[in-house]
Amino acid sequence: MDLTEKVKGEDTQSRKDASAERRSGEVGGVKTPKRLSPSKGRDYVKGTKASIDWWKNRKKVNEGKTYLDWQQAAREAHARVTKAKAEKNQQNSEVARQVAREKGIPFSDKKGKGYIKKGKKVYI
């Protein structure tokens, strides 16, 4: 048996055909993305680097926490909000009390608005 053709690699013509197919932007019937321009490439790298830095510096929220830790944190947050709300209501009631003492009780009717002082309506 005599082999006259030795195969060391692909046929040069099939390599040229594959190269032309890649350059056309369609390989196997699927469009391949074109190269980005240098400015778009730099923008992409800049955005990717910013994203990597953001994720690297991001604090891990649930690291080493259990459900009981989460429940306790939720209770503490609720207590803080309730306390702040009570303080705000207290301040508002003090201001309303002070206004009622000095000017009278505020009211509004068809004629306008004003204060009731010593049982009489005083319009402003």
Residue 105 domain flag: yes
Other CB atoms within 10 Å distance of the CB of residue 62: 8
Residue-number span of the structural domain to which 71 is assigned: 65-124
Amino acid at 80: R
Q: What total of structural domains would you count in the chain?
A: 1
Report the distance separating Cα 32 and Cα 18, nearest Å.
13
pLDDT in tens, 98-121: 988 888 989 999 999 999 998 899
Report the distance separating Cα 77 and Cα 63, nearest Å.
19
pLDDT in tens, 57-77: 876 666 677 889 889 999 999
Cβ-contact 113, 122 below 8 angstroms: no
Residue 78 domain flag: yes
The pLDDT value recorded for residue 10 is: 62
Report the distance separating Cα 89 and Cα 101, nearest Å.
18
Residue 91 domain flag: yes
Count of H helices and E strands in the chain? 3, 5
DSSP classification of residue 106: E
Q: Which of 3-12, 50-59, 90-99 has the lowest mean pLDDT?
A: 3-12
In whole numbers, what is the pLDDT of the chain averaged over residues? 85
Residue 124 domain flag: yes
CA atoms 53, 56, 57, 61: torsion sign: positive
Burial environment of residue 48 by CB neighbours within 10 A (0 to 12, 13 to 18, 19 or more): exposed
Top pLDDT among 111 and 30 is at 111
Report the distance separating Cα 114 and Cα 104, nearest Å.
9
